[in-house]
A and B are shown apart, each in its own frame.
Chain A
Amino acid sequence: MQIDGKHWTGSRIVGLEGQIPPPEKKPRRRWWLWVLVGIILSALVVFAGVLTYGWRLGHRPANAQTEIVIKDDKGRPIAPDKLAAANAKLQKKMAALAPKGQYVVIDTANNRVYLREGERTLRDMVASCGSGNVLEDPVSGRTWTFETPRGQFQVKSKVNNPVWIKPDWAFIEEGEPIPKDSRQRADANVMGDYALGIGNGYFLHGTLYKRLLGRNVSHGCVRLGDADLEFLFKTATLGTKVIIY
């Protein structure tokens, strides 16, 4: 193909060589750019090395340097071939610590009381546990934290128609003077029909404030609804384990 006597080959016109002189290129000094790139790359490599070193420190195998010696509860070394038997024995000893028969579990966070037997839950009950509030007597400086205690307890007493003997904090909380006559401390109308004592003045008992069941409002005792309280009172015997968490 020809255009005005010149060869047309695709996008380039052939035959104009020598008419337009090519622009002279000034040699650019970009050495600083290469130095900068080099520094950045070196820093990245060093940083990656540091991270790898740190990573390896954090993922070293446990007990790599120490010889493992297994001892029994009396401090005697256990032969490796007897480890399986020793483990089975330990598991048996642990199972012996578990409560026998029915036991009560109290979840203070969710305000629930469970009657359980082994791993089975026999009844799920709504309760009110400790509020966690703090009371300070401005006169004596004594403080009380109204929290339900945690751990393992047992039913130590069972009372029909319990009477609450109001402790000092009950009067301080109401801003009333602490009575000198102990008869003025008795209140027969607040604990419901039954109470199960678990020690240190803590009880599982009834409540007047049934619509607050499921909330943390008590002074440390565990409040239950009438039907649940009656069921628990009739089911739990003296010595029944009570686990609180």
Chain B
Amino acid sequence: MRLLLTIFLVCLLWVPLAAADELAELAQTNRLLQAEFELAKSQKLYFVFDLQASEILFKVSGVTVAKLPILSLRSWGRPADGIAYTLANRTARKEPEREKIAIPDGQEEEKPKAQPAPPKPGEAPKAPEVQALEITDMPTEYTLQLDDGTLLTVRSTLSDKADFKEKLRYYYEKYSWFITRPLISISHHRHGNTYNEMLLTLPEREARMLYWSFQEGGRCLVHWP
């Protein structure tokens, strides 16, 4: 009899708790959908950091055009749900630089005496050297600062070719998190701010791809776990 009574009481408590959880989840989904709908209407490219599914989605008009996997994730703090953020600033240890095209100066340069022969039919003309900003020039370690101050720190996995210095930095960053982030949090709290950061580890090429596509002024959503 006592056992039955206990089970009954537990059920009585569990049902409203489960309903509250479900409601909170529905509310979170609703906020995200509303924010995403506004972004989708703009017809511009936007990004969804789906931390529940450990992936980053590139979307236009609600359609996913690319998907990047997140290998590991660490989060500190928690910004508000269901807000479309704007990328305010990007900082990388080594920023890629655009190449400025050198204009040939006809006056100083000696003109060739004879014009090169035109390519024969079916023969490809001589291709110029490639001077371009390509995906391989993009950094693999950088920080994206959103408009509310939230930081998305992107790191790629440690490559096999990494030297001692790189390995040392990698492990320092990995383990100093537990010391530095509480101290930074306190410092922000003293100034009345909250400190939110996500540390995302992506495969090397995917980290470069995110930097390539997610430019200042770009919009994104974060689906917190």
Contact = CB atoms under 8 A, between A and B. Distances in A.
Contacts of B184: 54
B26 A216 contact: no
Given A97-B61, A97-B62, A134 B99 contact: yes
Contacts of B58: 245
Contacts, number: 180
Interface residues of B, number: 64
Interface string A36-63: 0000000000000011111101111111
B45 interface: yes
A154 to B, nearest CB: 10
Interface of B is mostly: mixed
A14 to B, nearest CB: 57
B167 interface: no
B36 A245 contact: no
A98 B61 contact: yes
B81 interface: yes
Interface string A210-236: 111001110000000000000000000
B90 interface: no
B30 A63 contact: no
B78 A54 contact: no
A173 interface: yes
Interface residues of A, number: 65
B159 to A, nearest CB: 19
Nearest to A98: B63
A222 to B, nearest CB: 14
Given A54-B181, A133-B98, A97 B104 contact: no
Interface of A: 50-55, 57-63, 68, 70, 72-73, 78, 80, 83-84, 86-87, 90-91, 93-95, 97-99, 105, 107-110, 119, 131-136, 138, 145, 150-152, 172-176, 208-212, 215-217, 241, 243-245
22 contacts: A54-B182, A55-B182, A57-B185, A57-B189, A57-B195, A72-B34, A87-B29, A93-B37, A94-B33, A94-B40, A110-B209, A131-B130, A133-B98, A133-B99, A133-B132, A134-B98, A138-B103, A151-B60, A210-B124, A215-B130, A243-B61, A245-B66
Interface of B: 23-24, 26-27, 29-31, 33-34, 36-37, 40-41, 43-45, 58, 60-66, 76-81, 98-101, 103-106, 124-125, 127-128, 130-135, 178-179, 181-186, 189, 194-195, 208-209, 212-213, 224
